[in-house]
Amino acid sequence: MLYESAARADEMLRLNVEDLYSQDKRGRITAKGGATEWIHWQSGTAQLLPRLIVRRTRGPLFLTNRKAPAGTPTLDVCPETGRARLSYRRAEEIFEENTRLLANPLASSDDIEDLDGWTLHQLRHTALTHDAEDGTSTPMLLTRSRHTSVRSLERYARPSVDAVARHVAGTSSGRGSTLHRGSEIGDRGHVRRSSPRVRLRGVEPAHPGLPCAPRRKLACEAGPAPGPECRGGACSESPVVTDSGSGMP
């Protein structure tokens, strides 16, 4: 649920059953500063939530396995089971212990006591990083993470080395064809205006006074401003045709 929603662990642990809108796959949370905001999840969480809630209709969503000790605030006690809300410290311990082999796939189960597992915060970090690698826009990342500035988002959304390699491999062919098309445009001819004459490369000379051919007309119109020689598409002077090899008229 933390990974799918990219929510902060402490916000998630403050969720109550009545804060869930299961049909819409979203929940209402109390964010930093006391503001009410929304988190969204996917099908995996939607399938598991009923098993977690069972028949409860109110109270803390995540509970310990024990009855709440005396003096526990009422808001942190399930009114239907009497169990206490799961604390951040205990949730972190459970998650870290159960992910030690996942975080160290080459390690042996005999060494599990000496291994370190993942942290709850890494789920949020990983979710935002994967979103960034998948091309999620910056406005969407800001909304999903509920950050207020791009600077605060930067430390989360850092694509991995493998993601950068996939990106380069996936875009290399497209970039190459774009560069080639640009090169072709440059090779077809350079139209520039110098003096009152229209200089073209690689076109047949025109007779004075005849209407410009399409390419000549485009060349005439491409100048900073039509000169007196260009009257409504009729050139009073022949364009100068330069040889592509020597550059001489």
Q: Which stretch of DSSP H or E encloses residue 20?
A: strand 20-21
Q: Encoding tokens for residue 71?
A: 């003096």
Average pLDDT over residues 29-51: 89
Identify which of 34-43, 44-53, 150-159, 195-204 has the greatest average pLDDT.
Answer: 44-53
The Cα 43–Cα 93 span in angstroms is 26
The Cα 90–Cα 75 span in angstroms is 18
pLDDT score for 172: 60
Q: Encoding tokens for residue 139?
A: 């406005």
User: Going along the chain, which residue ranges are E strands?
Assistant: 20-21, 26-30, 36-40, 63-67, 83-85, 192-194, 197-201, 230-231, 234-235, 240-242
pLDDT score for 217: 43
Name the nearest CA neighbour of 7 among 21, 26, 33: 26
The Cα 25–Cα 15 span in angstroms is 14
User: Which of 80-94, 169-183, 216-230 is least confident?
Assistant: 216-230
